[in-house]
Amino acid sequence: MIRVRHIIQIAGISACLVSPASAQTPAPFTFTTPVSLNHLHADLTQVRTRCWIFPTSNWQAYSGAIAEAASDPLPTTLEGSTRSFNGEIDLQVLPQNIKGDPNTARSYRCQVELFEAPHQAWVAANELDLHYPIDRSAVTVPETGGLLDR
């Protein structure tokens, strides 16, 4: 099993990457994301993480993944007129979600997504500023990834 722990920072979303641990077996892949969301718009009612596994070292690719999975959604908390979330989000990429040989996995990419209630749609954190103002000076990493420890 490969276990990855990462955090992402975007406006009120905090994050940093911790390298994956060495694996005895290549699957399933497990990701744990500590997330701190603050001062979110009241319309952003849920949070989840989505991760992709790639057979190449190019974790910034947007195609060619051998696996993709999203965590179960967790509710954000309404405090006054803004929402927040503080906790860890676990995501498992199960064998049935892997297309092809999991031994070919070389890299991963993960992102935080928020559920926009009025549009009933999930929005990647790096696309939030399309509908909600974000302090660009606070944005550091909208998604993260890296090489899997082999």
Lowest mean pLDDT among 29-33, 42-46, 69-73, 135-139: 135-139
pTM for this predicted structure: 0.78
Report the SS3 class of residue 29.
strand
Residue 3 CB neighbours (<10 A): 17
pLDDT of 131 higher than 80:
no
In sequence order, what DSSP letters do the residues of 1-13 get, joined into one string? -EEEEE--BBTTE
The domain ranges of the chain are: 2-147
**Of 63 and 8, more confident:** 63
Under 8 Å between Cβ of 68 and 113: no
Burial label, 63 (beta-carbon count in 10 A; 0-12, 13-18, 19+) = exposed
